[in-house]
Structure 1
């Protein structure tokens, strides 16, 4: 498993008064497109898996994650790490950190080492609980006052409210996906191919900007599985079939992963 050799020190914000102003400021700091997420853990549980799901939910992913054993925490944390790296998330702020158990804090610190996150823990007590203090004693960390790092957040203005999306809650017909799962027989591979121009150069599907934006948003929120999300996104914007997508490997990606080489399995 790859880890960041020297992740940034953990920041511990002390908020002994559990001030609503500071909590609102922490929640207002949540801005995934800017690389910052705020996690408000599910109350009433010390489940490590629940905390992983809280992180995935903060990243905009649907939870719980299907396809894994119910008590296996590893896949959920691995998915969280994959999405943090894929989306360029750099900061994770966790509220109610004084309730962290050792397994949950260990999982967060491992996520920090995997991704290089700037981890901020907000403790709503006058001092760290003994268990949290003991674990952090072996980790680079520093303390900060809530007033300095979590100033009062202004309420949203009318100008900050997002405009309604024209394609929200509507079906979107994407001709490119007609090649994705077009099987001749259940046991035979797809024989379809992406559209080719007369000169054999590939022309990618033409998708309007509003449709691109809405499709990207739906793909982002549709699945917590990075592999499936990548396959769907590639199919939408290239019209590649399942068979072609399965031939692509990491070394087939172009600069900045903007292009990918695929070939027919035959």
Structure 2
């Protein structure tokens, strides 16, 4: 029997039929926007289910008692990271087997995650329905049978199966970049304002405005293995920050000033900033890094923060040690992150 209300579906499997579990596991296809989250049995960690969600999303937390992912032991931080990755990667349907073993608190966390991401949630309740908690008691319709469950797994979810990255528009026309000028050079009026003696620098325009005037500098190429290692990092801000350093080779201090509005809407270019905005180049974002920057932006907005705030501020100041630790675990990328540059 399957109970449905809103975008939450409860599949009641009183006899614990192996078919439903197998169908749920086979439905795990992240590339199609559908994942199956398997709760860790008998885990007492408050953030355990969020970690299970991150694992299903392809993220791997660094092991060990002094892990750079220690801050994801916090329930709020872990679920915020899971929501950001869910939004950025276009998750549309999440299936959770053996949901009857979850505590009421963890069921509430799942429902809150669903509300943040807009994804459809299916829970396999493998015991009699009279044990349903009050949070799952309101049911709008009922269907039953294996065929209906298979059809449910095949249905398109409420959001696209993949994140929507529209084709990047041309960065600048032929007349917009003077002959001999660096393609990533800052617009003339912004440079003049920032260098005017005796006056504070004016805030830079965002990446969209800059992209209409100058051409983005091409991204540096990194090996596919290193790109995959960055994509597997669990925290969106750390994954996004290290990816920017990898494809730009910019100084890590420039990330302290990067705002939400410094990434174009199609996530094809990012603008970095120097002290006093004396040099603020525009860089093209390679395809492998676009989901990472999309997740960093989603994390920033879900927090929530206004677009003018520094997007990477939480990892550049309060938790810079975690950023440095992850950089140290990726020696092939040779990301130099001196503490004095990251932490004022």
Equivalent residues of 2:220, 2:248 under 8 A apart: no
1:55-86 Cα shifts (integer Å, max 9, x gaps): 1111111237723385x321111111111112
1:97-148 Cα shifts (integer Å, max 9, x gaps): 1122211111111111111120100111242514x2x21235x664443512
Structure 1 unaligned segments of length 5 or more: list them. Answer: 1-6, 153-196
Structure 2 distance, partners of 1:240, 1:146, is 57
Structure 2 distance, partners of 1:86, 1:114, is 12
Residue of structure 1 in register with 2:47 after alignment: 49
Counterpart among 115, 118, 130 of residue 117 in structure 2: 115
In structure 2, the CA distance between the partners of 1:35 and 1:128, relative to structure 1 (3 Å rule), is farther
Residue of structure 1 in register with 2:144 after alignment: 145
Residue of structure 1 in register with 2:327 after alignment: none
Task: Trace 1:32-111 onto structure 2 (pairs within 5 A).
Answer: 32-45=30-43, 47-63=45-61, 66-68=69-71, 70=73, 72-111=74-113
Q: How many Å apart are 1:52 and its aligned residue?
A: 1.3
Cα root mean square deviation, aligned: 2.8
Q: How many Å apart are 1:207 and its aligned residue?
A: 2.5
Counterpart among 261, 273, 281 of residue 263 in structure 1: 273
Structure 1 distance, partners of 2:247, 2:143, is 46
In structure 2, the CA distance between the partners of 1:218 and 1:198, relative to structure 1 (3 Å rule), is farther
In structure 2, the CA distance between the partners of 1:11 and 1:69, relative to structure 1 (3 Å rule), is closer
Normalising by structure 1, we get a TM-score of 0.69
Q: How many Å apart are 1:229 and its aligned residue?
A: 0.6
Q: Which moved more, 1:105-114 or 1:55-64?
A: 55-64
Residue of structure 2 in register with 1:219 after alignment: 230
With a CA cutoff of 8 Å and minimum separation of 6, indicate the structure with the bigger relative contact order: 1
- Alignment: residue pair count: 208
Structure 2 distance, partners of 1:121, 1:69, is 24
